[in-house]
Amino acid sequence: MPTFSKFDPGFILGLLGPLLTDPGTSFVKGHYHRPEADGVGGGRVTELLARPLLSQFFPELSDVAQPLGGEYAGRRDLLERLPFVVGYGVDVALLIDAFRTVGIGGLAQVDLGVRHHRNRTLDELGPQALAVSQAILDRAGLRPPGPATLRRPGKDPLPLAMHERPPARVAPACLSVRSRSTPPLLAGLRRTSPGARLPRRAAPSSLEGRRSFALPSRSRDSLRVVPGRSGPLASGERRASMLGRGVRTGRSASG
């Protein structure tokens, strides 16, 4: 059974927008509203596990609406430097690694509108939660060695080892076609001040209107709205301005 339906091509355009309009943006996360068709709210692992752990160990990422969301885009020169965790921890691990590499000013997030997504059962959420916690604790330097085991009453123990693929720049297949001089893993990590805030972007309806994205100011910790053309994008600009001032738009942040 597919986990989502009604995929909108605008998701791709929205994620590309900040990368095409702002040279300072290297990694873009998408967020969206998830209708509760079955009456069960989404984002349970996000709100009960991922967000508390991120708030404790990576508070700079507290403004990310859906840290476990699987819709994101990045520049090749960044993604080739990052390892890819195998399994449910891949999304949050990439977010943390991107933040540690380019800083909060190199990240953006885009409102992609609505996505219809199947909610998982509690039995399915257990392994996901364990994998996500392993990824976050690993990036915080606190994960115990060896595989973790999920133990539940009346069920067999479920070992869950954390594996990750090396960055493309150091993978053997990549080295054969690249220069012998390969940058070290996550070289040049750049930290930002604890009070830095992650700007949110409103997605345009097409690439034609990408100039109407809200771009970060020179300080990289706030939003300025680029004057855009009239029409449907005007409401997007207003939303971007509201988000830049910390005003909620009423959409849930379930992930």
Tell which residue, 124, 36, 123, has the closest CA to residue 88: 124
What local confidence, expressed as pLDDT, does residue 123 receive? 76
Locus of tokens 């079955």: 38
- Which residue in this structure is represented by tokens 């720049």? 169
The pLDDT assigned to 1 comes to 42
Buried b (16+ CB within 10 A) or exposed e, 108-131: bbbbbbebebebbeeeebbebbbb
The per-residue pLDDT for 39 is 46
CA 187 remoteness from chain centre: 21
The Cα 253–Cα 43 span in angstroms is 8
Q: Report pLDDT digits (tens) over 130-153.
A: 999 999 999 999 988 878 888 888
List pLDDT tens digits, range 167-183.
Answer: 988 876 655 555 444 44
Q: What are phi and psi of 128, to 5 degrees?
A: -65, -45
What pLDDT is stored for residue 144 in this prediction? 81
The Cα 135–Cα 58 span in angstroms is 13
Q: What's the pLDDT at 26?
A: 97
Q: Which fold has domain 4-244?
A: Spore Coat Polysaccharide Biosynthesis Protein SpsA; Chain A (3.90.550)
pLDDT tops 60 at residue 228: no
**Token pair listed for 71:** 């819709």
Q: What is the pLDDT of residue 42?
A: 56
Give the burial class of 213: count Cβ atoms within 10 A of its Cβ; 0-12 exposed, 13-18 middle, 19 or more buried: buried
Of the pLDDT bands very low, low, confident and very high (cuts 50, 70, 90), residue 247 is very low
